[in-house]
A and B are shown apart, each in its own frame.
Chain A
């Protein structure tokens, strides 16, 4: 139902008027569907209405042209701003979709290799495969509620590759049906030679269509030839913003493992083995009956002897080596010469 409200410039109610829908010009056709239809006045809601439209009023975009005439009974001085008021109106309705099917055609001959019927009101799970010598055909019929062919503003077939590269094709309507034929031989370069799984999505929409749809029809495995070196690279796809930021994997340093050393016990065992010969030496000496009888008894000589041996011990400690070396040579000389003279005395005596 069409309801029109007329008011004065300041918005208050007007006197009795005659409101007429002079024309309803369709954007497509040339003539007017409605001519000089007078609108009835409803006093309760103060609107002028038209409650039924003629039978050939189809969906689509129209421009309604209203004419307002003063009733003859009007007394006051009233002025109408415009003789004809044009208002764009979209008449919407549910468009029926019939005979939707998708098929893979073979080469030039056009024989159908595989064909599937589609229900575009919901997502499908069609699975097709094609190589670059074949063609893909999508066809359907769109009809208005009155049975006329409908040409929607938006009729896209989108092929989306696994790597997110997308391609869009328009489905053209001619005659009674809408059809799109994709000849892969000619499209190989446009598709960037990307073989693999493509998802098929069909979007049909229009301002006057109440049931615009987006249907994920299914997917198609395309087998395209190898990319030659000079062909264009597929465009860079944007990175997911949520994965751009985020903590990185933790790294902990692996320290250099020190060389594997033998167990402590093993070292102690070998220590024992090393000390063993020394102990054996001492035992051997006592067995041989060594003694230190000829230790000099006179004080001077004894002191030198003690110092001599002390010096040897100190040298073995590797401390103050150079000074000790000098000291030792003096003391050593004196002790050893004393010993030599003692043994000489013994020999001569």
Chain B
């Protein structure tokens, strides 16, 4: 599915010269990004975030969310590779955009950053629900945390969160030291959904409620079940970031210092800028994107791929996996890539060893079961694209002349046979000519 969408993008490269920049199989980082705002002042209040995106080569197109000329596609081709929706209070998008067209956008393999704020319209909630994220139903509720707030806030709604997901692919290799400031709505993840993941979680004492009115019943969302920022990687490797706070991306919180309540550490600069930058690198496929070459297999000692294997053959298997570094394809280094030799269920599962130059290889003996097998590489790692490769190969039994020729256990029987023959031969002489 991903290949189809990427090849469509490639075709558009030739057919429509206007769309000269688009992501492709060879260059998976997004190029053109549509930014929907509900207020053009966001361009200046979030200028640092947008300028870091521009400096990394993204082509940002700012539009108001209710602009009547909005369109994601033209003549069946997508105009943008990524979409940023910073319009938490928009009830209806203008032009041809609606929650279904955004869902189709993600289905085509394109990426999305969606942010709610202290108010989230039903439209934004609906888009988030498609991705497995449930915002708090109470529209006046915000995340409140009386133990994990920023000391500069009197209301305890400016959360200083440091419960980040442990993933170098999503958040980069450098640890984010300072807490991330957050003020907005809470959301939880659908527990049956395997594709969503909490990137920034709330602390156990957080809860989602209206700060200016007393609680009459226990809140729906409390504790670490509250996610502040989540991501989803779809099966076609489209990436979605959903944040409960638009202020998290603002210049004011990027620049502000932070001190978490109860902690003596005072940080000059909050972790927001590093967090938002690293997350944008991940979501737009500058990091954590893998590509695999074709699977190569052959018998030990040969170089050509045979059309069929015989049982108990020794074979060698290798695959090349590359990682996109943002600018070029680098060899991927990992020790948990595995290959399965599979027919209805895996007969052999082996971990591949790498030569650190992108080639992963192993060798094993073909099982003594006949049938049509598949070499399967199904690789999934937190934050990385999923690789799903397979190659079919039949396995045959021994031919009649591939068995052992003479079996030592049968020597008595051979002996019996030959001595009988020899005895008869001698007898034939003796009987006839004895005198």
A207 in contact with B211 (CB, 8 Å) = yes
Q: Residues of A contacting B382 with CB < 8 Å?
A: 241-242, 244-245
Given contacts A154-B207, A168-B218, A170-B217, contact A270 B424 (CB under 8 A): no
Q: Which residues of A contact B414 (CB under 8 A)?
A: 271
17 further interface pairs, Cβ-Cβ under 8 Å (given A268-B408, A275-B415): A89-B154, A90-B154, A90-B155, A166-B225, A168-B222, A203-B146, A206-B146, A212-B147, A214-B204, A239-B191, A239-B194, A247-B336, A250-B349, A251-B349, A277-B419, A291-B435, A316-B425
* Contact between chains at A278 and B423 (CB < 8 Å): yes
Say which one of A29-37, A39-47, A219-227, A292-300 lies at the interface with B. A292-300
* Known A251-B348, A252-B348: A153·B144 in contact at CB below 8 Å: yes
| A256 interface hit (Cβ, 8 Å) | yes
Q: Does B394 contact A (CB under 8 A)?
A: no
Question: Which residues on B sit within 8 Å (CB–CB) of A262?
Answer: 409
Q: Is B189's CB under 8 angstroms from A238's CB?
A: yes
Contacts of B362-419 to chain A: CB distance below 8 A: 364-365, 367-369, 380-382, 407-412, 414-416, 419
Chain B residues touching A, range: 35 or more
Report A335 CB to chain B, min CB distance, Å: 8
- Once A238-B191, A262-B409 are accepted as A-B contacts, the answer to whether A312 and B146 lie under 8 Å apart by CB is no
B433 close to chain A: CB less than 8 A: yes
Which residues on the B side are within 8 Å of A88 (C-beta)?
154
Question: Which of B204, B215, B424, B434 is A312 in contact with, Cβ under 8 Å?
Answer: B424
- B330-364 contacts to A, CB under 8 A, are 336, 338, 340, 346-351, 364
Q: Check if A236 is an interface residue, CB within 8 A of chain B.
A: yes
B432, CB-defined interface residue at 8 Å? yes
- Interchain CB contact under 8 A, A250 and B222: no
A247 to B350, CA, bound (A): 10
B287 lies within 8 A of chain A by Cβ: no
Within the complex, what minimum Cβ distance (angstroms) separates B295 from chain A?
Answer: 18
Distance of A323 Cα from B293 Cα, bound (Å): 62
Any chain A CB within 8 A of the CB of B422? Answer: yes
Write the nearest CB–CB distance from A323 to chain B, whole angstroms: 19
| B-side contacts of A170, CB under 8 Å | 215, 217-218
Let me know if B146 and A207 touch, CB within 8 A.
Answer: yes
Q: Which residues of B contact A90 (CB under 8 A)?
A: 154-155
> A241 touching B198 by the CB < 8 A rule?
yes
In the complex, the answer to whether A250 meets B423 with C-beta atoms within 8 Å is no
Instruction: Verify B349–A248 contact, CB threshold 8 A.
Output: yes
A253–B166 touching, CB < 8 Å: no
B165-A291 in contact (CB<8A): no
How far is B191's CA from A236's CA once the two chains are assembled, in angstroms? 6
> Can you list 15 pairs linking A and B with CB atoms under 8 Å apart?
A89-B154, A90-B155, A154-B144, A154-B209, A166-B223, A203-B204, A252-B350, A255-B368, A264-B409, A267-B409, A271-B411, A281-B426, A285-B430, A290-B434, A309-B429
- The reply on B303 being an interface residue by CB < 8 A is no
Q: Does any Cβ of B come within 8 Å of A205's Cβ?
A: yes
Using A156-B207, A214-B205 as known contacts, say yes or no to A252 and B408 having CB atoms under 8 A apart.
no
A270 and B412 form a contact (CB under 8 A): yes
| Contact, CB under 8 Å: A281 / B423 | yes
- Interface 1/0s, chain B 202-229, versus A by CB < 8 A? 0011010101001101110011010000
Chain A proximity of B426: nearest CB distance (Å): 7
Tell whether, in the assembled complex, residue B223 and residue A158 are in contact, meaning their CB atoms are under 8 Å apart.
Answer: yes
CB closest residue in chain A, given B410: A267
Q: Does A261 contact B (CB under 8 A)?
A: yes
Q: Which residues of B contact A295 (CB under 8 A)?
A: 433
**Which residues on A are within 8 Å of B, measured CB to CB?**
88-90, 92, 151, 153-154, 156, 158, 166, 168-170, 201, 203, 205-207, 209, 212-214, 235-239, 241-242, 244-253, 255-256, 261-262, 264, 267-268, 270-271, 273-275, 277-278, 281-282, 285, 290-295, 305, 309, 312-313, 316, 339
Task: Name the distance in Å between A89's Cβ and chain B's nearest Cβ.
Answer: 7
Q: Which 6 A-B pairs have the closest CB atoms?
A: A205-B146, A212-B146, A292-B433, A270-B412, A253-B367, A238-B191
Cβ-based interface call for B55 (8 A): no
**Complex Cα spacing A246 to B429, Å:** 79
Residues from chain B with a CB closer than 8 A to the CB of A313 are 425
Contact B147–A278 (Cβ < 8 Å): no
- Any chain A CB within 8 A of the CB of B43? no
Q: Which of B351, B368, B408 has the most CB of A within 10 A?
A: B408
Q: How far is the CB of B207 from chain A (nearest CB, A)?
A: 6
Q: Are A212 and B434 in contact (CB under 8 A)?
A: no
A278 touches B422 (CB 8 A): yes
The closest CB in chain A to the CB of B335 belongs to A247
Does chain A have a CB within 8 A of B263? no
Q: How far is the CB of A123 from chain B (nearest CB, A)?
A: 12
Give the chain A neighbours of B146 by CB distance below 8 A. 153-154, 203, 205-207, 209, 212
Residues of the A chain whose Cβ atoms lie less than 8 Å from the Cβ of B218: 156, 168-170
Inter-subunit contact B432/A274 (CB<8 Å): no
CB distance from A339 to the nearest CB of B (A): 6
Check: B35 CB closer than 8 A to any chain A CB.
Answer: no
State how many angstroms separate the Cβ of A292 from the closest Cβ of chain B. Answer: 4
Please report the C-alpha to C-alpha distance between residue A214 and residue B197 in the assembled complex, in whole angstroms.
26
CA distance A242 to B380 in the complex (A): 11
